[in-house]
């Protein structure tokens, strides 16, 4: 069975604090008539951007910040 371009299946692991952002973005993309492929690409790009930002923040803090957190936990 081949899916039509109008069919949209979104599967993503979304942190609870980000869920509303993804739902709002999805609603806006659908309202603007984007295809399923375009919507999936946009959602992927948003997720990738968030992931890269978190990695960058961790790198900017440096290894000292991570060790301080581990010492507080231990």
pLDDT interval class at 2 (50, 70, 90) = very low
Q: What is the pLDDT of residues 14-66, one digit of tens each?
A: 667 777 877 888 888 888 888 878 887 887 888 888 778 888 888 888 777 65
Nearest alpha-carbon partner for 8 in 28, 44, 38: 38
Cα angle for residues 1, 38, 7 (degrees, 5° grid) = 30
Q: What is the pTM of this model?
A: 0.46
Are residues 25 and 43 in contact, defined by beta-carbon separation less than 8 angstroms? yes
Tokens of residue 39, six digits:
């919507």
In this prediction, residue 73 carries a pLDDT of 59
In this prediction, residue 39 carries a pLDDT of 80
Within 10 angstroms of residue 70's Cβ, the number of other Cβ atoms is: 9
Sign of the C-alpha dihedral computed for residues 74, 62, 13 and 26 taken in this order: positive
In this prediction, residue 52 carries a pLDDT of 82
């Amino acid at each position: 069975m081949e899916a039509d371009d109008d069919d949209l299946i979104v599967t993503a692991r979304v942190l609870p604090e980000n869920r509303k952002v993804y739902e709002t973005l999805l609603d806006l993309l659908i309202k603007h008539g984007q295809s399923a492929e375009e919507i999936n690409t946009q959602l992927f790009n948003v997720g990738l951007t968030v992931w890269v930002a978190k990695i960058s923040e961790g790198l900017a803090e440096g290894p000292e910040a991570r060790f301080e957190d581990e010492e507080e936990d231990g």
